[in-house]
Amino acid sequence: MNTGLADFFDLKGQNHEELFAGAKHAWEVLPRIADYLKKNLKNGSKAKIIGSPVIGENVHLGEGTIVEPGVYIRGPAWIGKNCEVRHGAYIRENVIAGDGCVLGNSCEFKNCVLLSGAHVSHFSYVGDSIVGRDVNLGAGVILSNYRLDGQAIKVRAAGTVVETGLRKFGAMVGDKASIGCNAVLNPGSLIAKGAKILPGTIWSGSQK
């Protein structure tokens, strides 16, 4: 498996071109998210706010997005148009979501990108990861981002071991992939476009 952005994601129409520009390996985007948001984040909201969710100062919510009661968006965060941010979602620092995404009940998001149409609907953790277009993470899916021994994360791709230099790196989940309920993707997982991971799987490595 190759490791460029185009090997996992169709970025046409996703905006945020500056964030993705020039990355040799897809995971190189992850350390850029904080600086990109600091430079480019547009504050303000055109969302429908239901009840009294907690929304930090450095948060942009696009037109047509719905934010339900019990949501906590600490920010910085940039949420696109026509998204659903459901009750109990915890959106920590440095999160970008494209249009039409679902950030669901009791899900936690941290330093990650969700491309348009990504659904993370129930009881999941998404840290230091990119989730592609129209991906579905089933209930309870965990994108684990930290090795138990604290070492920098390596990936195996195209028959070689690649040093990422990152101590926190969850997964690259390619467009239209589907991850079954209660699956765990271990740090540095590479999931190809359209791939399927069965429920309850403990996954490491690359999935073609």
SS (H, E, C) 38-99: HHHCCCEECCEECCCCEECCCEEECCCCEECCCCEECCCEEECCCCEECCCCEECCCEEECC
The per-residue pLDDT for 115 is: 98
Single-letter residue type at 11: L
Distance CA 109, CA 86 (A): 13
Q: pLDDT band for 44, please (50, 70, 90 cuts).
A: confident
More confident residue, 183 or 156: 183
pLDDT tens-place string over residues 169-178: 999 999 999 9
**Taking all residues of the chain, what is their mean pLDDT, rounded to a whole number?**
96
More confident residue, 207 or 35: 35
User: For residue 52, which of 76, 73, 68, 29 has the smallest C-alpha distance?
Assistant: 68
The correct CATH number of 5-207 out of 2.160.10.10, 3.40.50.11740, 2.60.120.620, 3.30.300.130 is 2.160.10.10
70, 120, 199 from 106: Cα distances, Å: 10, 10, 19
Task: Tell me what percent of the residues of the chain surpass a pLDDT of 70.
Answer: 99
Distance CA 129, CA 97 (A): 12
Distance CA 83, CA 61 (A): 9
Residue 76: asked if its preceding bond is cis (omega within 30°), the reply is yes
Tell me the pTM: 0.96
The per-residue pLDDT for 156 is: 84
Contact 58, 42 (CB under 8 A): no
Dihedral of the alpha carbons of 56, 166, 120, 204, in degrees to the nearest 10: -160
- Cβ neighbours, 10 Å, residue 170: 29
- Residues annotated catalytic, as ranges: 122
pLDDT tens-place string over residues 154-166: 998 777 899 999 9
Quote the tokens at residue 168: 């926190």
pLDDT tens-place string over residues 67-100: 999 999 999 999 999 999 999 999 999 999 999 9
> What residue spans of the chain are helical by DSSP H?
17-20, 33-40
- For the chain, domain boundaries: 5-207
